[in-house]
Amino acid sequence: MTEFLTAALYKFVDLPDCAALKAPLQACCEAHEVRGILLLAPEGINGTIAGPAEGVQAVLAYLRRDPRLNDLEHKASMARTQPFYRMRVRLKREIVAMGVPDVHPARMAGTYVKPADWNTLLADPELILIDTRNDYEVDLGSFRGAINPRIKRFADLPEWLRNQGLLDDLAGPKPKVAMFCTGGIRCEKSTAFLRQAGLEQVYHLEGGILKYLETVAPEHSLWEGECFVFDERVSVGHGLQAGSHELCRACRQPLNADAKASPLYAAGVSCPHCHGSKTPAQKMAAQERQRQMELARQRQQTHIGARLPAATKSAP
């Protein structure tokens, strides 16, 4: 059985010429039958790609030929099916959107803590542990004792931090804060934000949750639940094994077994999260899309997941 190599990668590095890098990178990925999404911005590169192992390795080698990316790291996992429908290289203002000017993770990120040392850090009773991910991600799983900010998007995190009083009275004793996210990119930027604001004892999990789940044995783990990932696997557990969640094709929310057993769930059409917000026109469009996908599956063809018409498309 053919397997596909998935590589998640990012690096904060100055790329003022990122616009000129877009087309050659897109061409390289397509030439090696690699799909996924890569974001380029003046502050660096971020994304996930998947394809035949030799193709993904060729794209990584191409990236690392740029001296600024020669130490680019990636997180690898295997999938039985191609987790992406197409390849997209996009230009962005930020590789992870925070919307706060003059935050420079390449120079100001907090102290890196390796997964092997993470449990020891978390044992500190004075530590404030913050999950920097979106609420639907945290709902699938998190570290024991972590604070869930209940944010809808990463750009909401700075305001939440300000509202908690963490940045007040920095002339006195400063709190000790640790942050984590899926692969490390969001906590690098959020710890840089805290350091820019004046905090000194700021830490983050090197390699993120994925590196922790990959390297820390379940019997020693402080992780509870599954970790949401931004591809067709939806979630992973220890050893980066595919989890038990599926994705609602209508609203993109992860679904567990209870949600899929709900009478409000219809594959490709609605789920308990979005059933009440869908108009009849939206449901009809989704039903037709699902029918086309089923036909493509029966014919052993690839369906690229065409978007719903703009007038009926649900909000992300």
Q: Is the confidence at residue 188, as pLDDT, over 50? A: yes
- Is 97 within the bounds of a domain? no
Q: Is the separation of the CB atoms in 174 and 199 below 8 Å?
A: yes
In the numeric block, which tokens belong to residue 182? Answer: 């899926």
As a whole number of angstroms, the distance between CA 220 and CA 119 comes to 9
**DSSP characters for 239-295?**
GG-B-S-EE-TTT--EE-HHHHHSTT-BTTTB-TTTGGG--HHHHHHHHHHHHHHHH
Partnered with residue 235 across adjacent β-strands are 228
187 has catalytic annotation:
no
In the numeric block, which tokens belong to residue 245? Answer: 């969640």
Same-domain pairing of 209 and 256: no
Same-domain pairing of 221 and 258: no
Partnered with residue 89 across adjacent β-strands are 38
pLDDT tier, 107 (very low <50, low <70, confident <90, very high otherwise): confident
Q: Is the separation of the CB atoms in 262 and 270 below 8 Å?
A: no
CATH number at residue 42: 3.30.70.100
- Is 35 within the bounds of a domain? yes
Question: Mean pLDDT throughout 113-136?
Answer: 97
Domains in the chain, number: 3
CA angle 237-47-117, nearest 5°? 45
Same-domain pairing of 206 and 144: yes
As a whole number of angstroms, the distance between CA 298 and CA 131 comes to 42
CATH number at residue 189: 3.40.250.10
In the numeric block, which tokens belong to residue 301? Answer: 């063809």
Same-domain pairing of 62 and 110: no
pLDDT at 208: 93
- Is 237 within the bounds of a domain? no
H or E element that contains 37: strand 35-41
Same-domain pairing of 109 and 219: yes
**Among the options 18, 28, 29, 181, which is catalytic?**
181
The pTM score is: 0.78
As a whole number of angstroms, the distance between CA 96 and CA 227 comes to 19
Which of 167, 197, 225 is the last residue in one of the domains? 225
Question: Mean pLDDT throughout 133-156?
Answer: 95
Q: Is the confidence at residue 305, as pLDDT, over 80? A: no
Same-domain pairing of 296 and 208: no
pLDDT tier, 256 (very low <50, low <70, confident <90, very high otherwise): confident
Q: Is the separation of the CB atoms in 267 and 278 below 8 Å?
A: no
For the segment 108-117, what is each residue's pLDDT rounded down to a tens digit? 899 999 999 9
As a whole number of angstroms, the distance between CA 24 and CA 30 comes to 10
Same-domain pairing of 35 and 85: yes
Which of 190, 225, 260 is the last residue in one of the domains? 225
Q: Is the confidence at residue 313, as pLDDT, over 70? A: no
For the segment 194-211, what is each residue's pLDDT rounded down to a tens digit? 999 999 999 999 999 999
122-136, 156-170, 233-247, 271-285: which range is least confident on average?
A: 271-285
Same-domain pairing of 199 and 133: yes
Residue with tokens 């019997």: 219
pLDDT tier, 303 (very low <50, low <70, confident <90, very high otherwise): low
For the segment 49-86, what is each residue's pLDDT rounded down to a tens digit? 999 999 999 999 999 999 999 999 998 888 888 888 89
pLDDT tier, 171 (very low <50, low <70, confident <90, very high otherwise): low
pLDDT at 311: 28
Q: In one letter, which amino acid is 85?
A: Y
Q: What is the dihedral of CA 12, 179, 233, 134, to 10 degrees?
A: -100
Question: Mean pLDDT throughout 154-168?
Answer: 91
pLDDT at 134: 95
As a whole number of angstroms, the distance between CA 86 and CA 39 comes to 14
The upper half-sphere exposure of residue 162, i.e. CA atoms within 13 Å in the direction of its Cβ, equals: 9
- Is 277 within the bounds of a domain? yes
- Is 52 within the bounds of a domain? yes
Most confident of 87-91, 230-234, 242-246: 87-91
Which of 225, 254, 287 is the last residue in one of the domains? 225
- Is 232 within the bounds of a domain? no
DSSP character for 147?
Answer: B
> Across all residues in the chain, what is the average pLDDT?
88
Same-domain pairing of 280 and 204: no
Longest Cα pair distance anywhere in the chain, in angstroms?
A: 67
As a whole number of angstroms, the distance between CA 276 and CA 192 comes to 40
Same-domain pairing of 216 and 116: yes
Q: Cβ-count burial of 248 within 10 angstroms (0-12 exposed, 13-18 middle, 19+ buried)?
A: buried
Q: In one letter, which amino acid is 284?
A: M
Same-domain pairing of 63 and 111: no
Same-domain pairing of 178 and 264: no
Percent residues over pLDDT 90 in the chain: 60
- Is 236 within the bounds of a domain? no
- Is 133 within the bounds of a domain? yes
pLDDT tier, 306 (very low <50, low <70, confident <90, very high otherwise): very low
pLDDT at 302: 56
Question: Mean pLDDT throughout 177-195?
Answer: 95
Closest CA to 203 of 174, 178, 166: 178
Identify the domain containing residue 73 by its residue range: 4-91
CA atoms 127, 129, 130, 135: torsion sign: negative
